Amino acid sequence: MSQNFQEKLSPKRVLITGGAGFLGSHLCRRILDGGDEVICVDNFSTGRRRHITPLMDNPRFELVRHDVSFPLYLEVDEIFNMACPASPIHYQNDPVQTIKTTVNGAMNILGLAKRTNSKVLQASTSEIYGDPLVHPQPEEYRGNVNPIGLRGCYDEGKRCAETLFFDYHRQHQVRIKIARIFNTYGPHMHPDDGRVVSNFIVQALKGEEITIYGDGGQTRCFCFVTDLVDGLCRLMDTGDDVTGPINLGNPVEISMTQLAETILELTGSRSKLTYLSLPPDDPTQRRPVIARANEVLGWQPKVDLENGLKETIAYFDSLL
């Protein structure tokens, strides 16, 4: 009997919280394609049913509508904790609920992992570095975060979640993994999530002014969603001695003005650039050090920005 056939006889039960969201929905498909069962948990505050509708007929896919800030009781083998609004517009819309999702949600998921002896991966974020004073950002950097600013509900919530994960690991031997996710883009992004890639593409396709916050010189690095999901799966598949945190992101840096000009060229749009004041605590630069991901996971991004943007533009064009 082949190994692949044997694996299909006993698939893992994989819980993905936030499974109808941008990253979560891609992760659901990736896990199903690998032959395992997926329990998708989402309260649809920012997730969308259309992201997972193509998966509903798969007998190995199950949808549970639930808010992770309340306990949940399931029998699972692995958990990807992806639940939390990730764009500033969404997480600042209800900052108290954002804190509940990140902190209470982490405690509930860790409690489930402890009971079931499941491996559990926390989708952390580059936002834990805040507006960094160290560039590029290695995992050892502890960050420069404003705990009382508008972004604090998300930044500090994610930082507290990392603390909880390591405390459960040390005190209860929970098998944890922490991925610090840098800017990611691709199909299933919200057209109105306020993130720079979706903003620029939607404005370009509609022929509206491209709104750039600040002088356009601030930089980001953009990882295509399939590369990011591959990194998450590689991290989950590591042994119990690998806990992270591990940065996952594309280290190729680009300014906001350069990004806008690239999108204008790819869309053929004649939209004009307009510059607005920079929001409070908005980081001026971000770039991950991914040496640890490369060494431990054998991972590095494969999709370049131009090809990733073409696929993302086609997705938004179909929505609009």
186-223 pLDDT tens trace = 999 999 888 999 999 999 999 999 999 989 999 999 99
pLDDT at residue 113, rounded to an integer = 98
Is 198 a domain residue? no
Is 269 a domain residue? no
Is-catalytic flag, 154?
Answer: yes
Is 35 a domain residue? yes
Range of the domain at 237: 11-185+223-250+288-302
pLDDT at residue 1, rounded to an integer = 39
Is 73 a domain residue? yes
| C-alpha span between 73 and 111 (Å, rounded) | 10
pTM of the model: 0.94
Whether 234 and 179 have beta carbons less than 8 Å apart is answered as: no
Instruction: Find the helix or strand (DSSP H, E) in which 122 lies.
Output: strand 119-125
pLDDT at residue 90, rounded to an integer = 82
pLDDT at residue 2, rounded to an integer = 43
pLDDT at residue 8, rounded to an integer = 57
Is 120 a domain residue? yes
Is 172 a domain residue? yes
For position 102, which CATH number holds? 3.40.50.720
Report mean pLDDT in 10-residue bins for the chain, 320 residues.
51 97 98 98 94 97 97 97 87 91 97 98 96 96 94 94 98 98 96 91 96 92 98 98 98 96 97 90 90 98 98 94
Total count of domains within the chain: 1
- Active-site option among 154, 213, 275, 315: 154
pLDDT at residue 9, rounded to an integer = 64
Q: What are the CA-CA distances from residue 92 to residues 105, 143, 193, 214 (Å)? A: 17, 20, 11, 20
Q: Which residue in 172, 161, 290 sits closest to 231, CA to CA?
A: 290
- What is the identity of the amino acid at 109? I
Q: Is the peptide bond before 288 cis (omega within 30 degrees of 0)?
A: no
